[in-house]
Structure 1
């Protein structure tokens, strides 16, 4: 498996993109359950410097519940990670592609849940970007 994310790069600065991603996730019905500041964590734990980067753990409770009902092992793939990272003058946004869950489980009903989550996140990414990369090309 080579492609497992939906990816976009935007011209907005990191801080503005992070704010926009949070708002668009909310618009898509996702809440942010966790936040990991990779820059601060790696600086504190390893003394290394990386550009600003955060992992947001996004969840739509209704979809998470449906996925868990289909296959409880899906919990290991939750929440859906959304990465916002400074990339020079631009900002990269990557989202774990929920459709990948179906590669790990053939449980009845999981494909529909993953499909809805992917559609919601794809709409969010489309609203975010000015030069969106094709998510299906990343999966090829």
Structure 2
């Protein structure tokens, strides 16, 4: 007489080389939210040895641990669509990024933002007072434009 052992449905065989000897009840952690740590904006994916979480479409994964994704999901927002959602200088180009946005001053301006970590917050427009005539140099003097303003130099 020979016999064959097999784990019942809903049980996992922990020693497939000797079937049916050690059976562990499978638990679907995704069935009950208290059994998993997925964010409410994540999909719970049941797996043989546990579960995984995946942020739903329209949500960015901001989980603190890369090995545990889907634990913190926040809505993806394009801060560049509405100027009220970003603090870029009105002249700056707002560049949307997955984790926020970046500001970039145009080439005809100088970035004088208080923090180098946050560029494009203050873009200074250069005005060439010598070309526009907005200077008070003597007609005989030479007007020299610089980043701050201008200087007047009398001929020698």
TM-score (ref. length: structure 1): 0.22
Which structure carries more strand by proportion?
2
Q: Larger radius of gyration, structure 1 or 2?
A: 2
Between Structure 1 and Structure 2, the one with more helix by share is 1
